Every structure is written in structure tokens, then in C-alpha cells.
Amino acid sequence: MAYESTSKMQNIVKVPVWRRRLLLIAVLLSFAALLVRSVYLQSLHKSFLQKEGNARYSRTLSLQAYRGKILDRNGELLAISSPVETIWANPTDVVIDQVQTKAMASLLNMRTADIDKKLANPQREFVYIKRRLPPDLAAKVMSLSIPGVYSEREYKRYYPAADVTAHLVGFTGVDDNGQEGFELAQNTWLSGKSGSRRVLKDRQGHIIEDLEAVKVPQDGHDLMLSIDRRIQYLAYRELAKAVETNKAIAGAAIVLDAKTGEVLAMVNLPTYNPNNPVNVKGKTRNRAITDTFEPGSTMKPISVSAALESGNFTPESKIQTSPGTLSIGPATIHDSHPQGLISVGQVIQKSSNVGAAKMALTLQPEFLWGYFNQIGFGSPTHIGFPGEGSGRLRNYKTWRPIEQATMSFGHGISVTLLQLARAYTVFANDGELRPVSLLKLNEAPIGHRVYSAQVANEMKDMLETVVQPGGTALKAQIAGYRVAGKTGTAHKLGAHGYEEDKYVASFVGMAPASDPRLIMAVMIDEPSNGEYYGGSVAAPVFSKVMADALRMLGIPQDAPNNNVVIPTDETNAEPEVKETT
């Protein structure tokens, strides 16, 4: 036995000392490398580890700011945001089976192929599945507990007045940015600033810890318009009836506060529903502000007032209009009914083109142009609305006599309906032109004088005769109120000159005439149902809207209730006609 033990010990191979030391050194170096790597990753390269961890569990969530409300002057809602939910996913985290895909597709009314396509790219970390869902529907999707699928709070704009205020308020896009109207013009004011917060989420997408509020959202500001929603509805209703009855292609109407210049109503047709803005091409244009047209005889009070200011005429001055035509070079100006020798007041009442032209031709071009310019023609009103037109007023140095004559009754000059409505504030405010506003004002703005108070009031008296027997606008009368206004009928300008059978019918008026509180301008584009004169097509819209608006605002009557003269073919004849040939 002793021999065997000794033999085994002799068979054990002794490891050289240098090899044992080399092994020890290798182990120690390995530990040192691990220690250095640990120190490097946890201190010098800590950001890399944090980034990798954050990429898997940390999320920065957007906190959308609440978009401000749009209100009418009385605080009635015109636009408000309601909460909705958006479903989105991080394809790198999504774990989903076919059953869950079909369930999600069914809830979202989508095809499973579309969902698979959205989730197919593992390189993307963010993709929308569907936006602006009702919160209860989004909750059903989230109840499927699909890892990597998340919901986020957003807001959807709602417009209670819908198509009635569409051209003013406008609408927002899918990202809640303004696309039209005041939603666009005041987007920065309304939208505020979005915020964000960092959270930790588990693999199921549940928030397990709020880390910090990176940025607090700043809600948007409310916007109060000058519009009175009640008057807006009145104007829309009556304009829609007129456009339909007269088979017109379009129409627009404006109601102004005569003292402050605030726009109480502004409506346009055709219109659209901003709650579902699809197929809106050509319908979003606010014609009352953007489109220009030749004003026709509604221009006569402006040019005749300039003639009165010259001192060459008084309201009683006589103008010879026989034989109902006036030739200037190769062109001829017509009156539809020869009037003979008439007063300046009758030039307005009868709407004589010949009379207005003769008065204008006595003035120096620069003098007449100065009044057109002072009253705002050829320049935007600066009302702060996108796309506002400036109209066209050519420099007086280029005027020929025929052009000076035709501009006196609204041909050869173009204006917007807003410019035209504002121009009549001079007759409601003793000759002062008021600036206009679509935002509610705290006090009346300061205007600037265009005409003397005497001339302005003389013209206002003449404009009253237009709606009385012998005038062109008996259909503009209002029971219990005196009315002053002017009709306009102009041929439309086409590619080859004036179109014989296409007209723009208009009326601008104010009430009560004793102390005007409201001004209304109406324009009907291409009436084609037999009637096309301003007194027949546009004046009735004025009468119906103004009657209800005056009573709604509690404005005292200035006439007996039996002051309306029923129009007949004879008393309501329209002498406004074909201006030039």
C-alpha cells in the first residue's frame, strides 16, 4: 500500500511557479478591466446607459394647450374645443397578434392591412393609428392592452353656429392650427403654447411614474368678435332666401354699428360647414371682404356729396338731364327714363346717371379723386382679416372725361362690400368716416372728417327720398322707422366688356334715419329669375333684417307704424340702367 501511494505522488505533475503567477496576473487584469469598464459606463459614459434606458421606458408626452374660445359680442360661443383621444404606437415596442389586430380594426373602422402597414416598420418610434377619437372609443382600444400602443389627449374644434358664421370664424386642421377666417388670422393668440412631461412606462404602456413636468402648457386666449349672433342669423336667413328666390350665384351682407363701426353681422353665400370642412373649394372665400365689384348707383351719394362740397351745387340746384342721354366722345350714358329738368336731390331719388355725370364733370379730377380716396376706396380697411381686397381706384392723372363721368355712378371703379358699407358711415356721423372692426370695442373709435356736417346731413335727407314714393327702393321701407339708403344695379364686367345679361344688385341703407344706429349693405351676384334691380332684389333683404335687428336691440321708433307705402309697378319703378354703350 505504501508503495502505491508513493507511486501516485510521483505521477502528479507540478505546475511551474511562473505559470501560476501568470494565471493570477490574468485573473487580476480581468477584474481590473471589469472595474474600469464599470467605472467608465457609470460615470464617464453614463449618458449612453441613460439613453438606452430612456429609450425603453421613458417617454416625453406632449401636453397640448387648450385653444381659446371664439365668442360673439354677448359671450355666445362661436368656436370651442372639445377633448378627443388619439391612438398612436411605437412599432419597436408593439407586440400584437391577429386577434388583437382584428379587434382594433373593428373598433377604429379600419382594415387590418392598414394597421399592419402602420406597424410594419420597426425603425420608426412613432406612428399615428387614428386621431381625434371619442374618449370612450379610445378607452375600448386601450382596454385591448396591446404593448406599444398608447393614447394621447387632443382637442377638436366645434362650431355651434356652423355655416352661419363659417366665413368669419373659419376652421382648424387636424393639428388644431387655423386654416381659414379668424382661426387663421388669430392662430397665435388662440392656440397658446403646448407643454410636455416625462414619464416612465412599462411594456404595457401604463404610466408607472411621473418624472418631471418639462414644460407647462400655456392655454390660448379667448377672442371676442364684434358679431351679434342673433343679427348674424337674421342676415343669413334673409340672404339665403334672396339668393334662392332670385336664382343668384352668390350673395353677401354686412350690418354695421353706425356709431362705432363694429361689424354686427357679415354673411356670405355659398357657405360650408366648418365642423366637416370637406369639398369646400370656392366656398371658404369671405366675399364681403375679399371680392370686389363695381358698386353702380350706390356710388352716387359719394360723388354728389363731393359736388355739394365744391360749392357749385345745393340740393335744390337744377340739372338738365334731357333727353335722358349724355354723349362723351364715342360713348353714351343713358337714363332708363328721361327725367328732364330735376334737382340735385332728385338725381339721388331718381338715380339719374346723366345728372350724376354732369355734376362730376364740373369738378377737377384731383378734387373728385380726393374724396374717393378719403372715403377709403382703393385701400384696404385694415380690419385684420386674411385676404382682404383693396378695390381699384385709378390715379386721377390717367382719367379721361368718360371715365370721370362713369365713376360718378359706380362704373370704372371697384370696391368691396365692406368698403361700401364703411363709406356710408359718413352720412350717419355728420361727415366723419368711422374705422370698422370685427373685434368688440370698449369705446367708439375716432374717425376722420370727409364731408362737412351740413353736406352729410343734406345727403342723408336725400337718401330718405329714395325709399319714399318716387324713389327706387320702396321695398326697403320699415314699419315704424325712417330709412335712408341707395340702390345699385351694375352690369358685370366680362372678358369682352360689360355682360348684357349679368348684373350685381345692391343696396346700402341706414336706420333710424333721424339718428342712424345701424348700416346695412347687401349685394346679390347675378340674379337670374327676372328681377335684377337693387330695389327689387337687395332692398327687401335690408328691410327684413333691419326691422328685426332694430327691435331686437330696443332702438326707439322714429316714425308711425303706418309709414310704409305698399310698392306698385308705378311707385317702385327702377330708373337705374345701362350706363354706357
List residues with catalytic annotation.
297
Question: 250: closest CA among 271, 234, 232, 231?
Answer: 271
Give the Cα separation of 153 and 197 in Å (integer): 13
Question: 384: closest CA among 540, 261, 216?
Answer: 261
CA 170 to chain centre: 5
Question: 301: closest CA among 261, 259, 253, 359?
Answer: 359
Task: State the cell numbers at 396.
Answer: 386721377
For residue 49, which phi and psi values (nearest 5 degrees)?
Answer: -65, -40
Question: 485: closest CA among 454, 464, 459, 506?
Answer: 464
Give the Cα separation of 257 and 263 in Å (integer): 6
- Residue 339 C-beta-side C-alpha neighbours within 13 Å: 30
Evaluate the omega torsion of the peptide bond into residue 386 and state whether it is cis, within 30 degrees of 0.
Answer: no
552 Cβ contact list (under 8 Å, min separation 6): 230, 231, 234
Q: How many CB atoms lie within 10 A of CB 236?
A: 23
Task: Output the CA angle 416-422-424, nearest 5 degrees.
Answer: 115
Give the Cα separation of 510 and 464 in Å (integer): 9
Give the Cα separation of 137 and 139 in Å (integer): 5
Evaluate the omega torsion of the peptide bond into residue 323 and state whether it is cis, within 30 degrees of 0.
Answer: yes
Give the Cα separation of 48 and 432 in Å (integer): 71
Q: Are strands 250-257 and 484-494 parallel, antiparallel or unpaired?
A: unpaired
Judge whether 70 and 78 are in contact, CB under 8 Å.
yes
Task: State the cell numbers at 91.
Answer: 412599432
Q: How many CB atoms lie within 10 A of CB 566?
A: 9
434 Cβ contact list (under 8 Å, min separation 6): 258, 259, 260, 261, 422, 425, 444, 445, 447
Give the Cα separation of 116 and 133 in Å (integer): 20
Give the Cα separation of 514 and 482 in Å (integer): 7
Judge whether 503 and 490 are in contact, CB under 8 Å.
yes
Give the Cα separation of 501 and 158 in Å (integer): 42
Task: State the cell numbers at 416.
Answer: 368691396
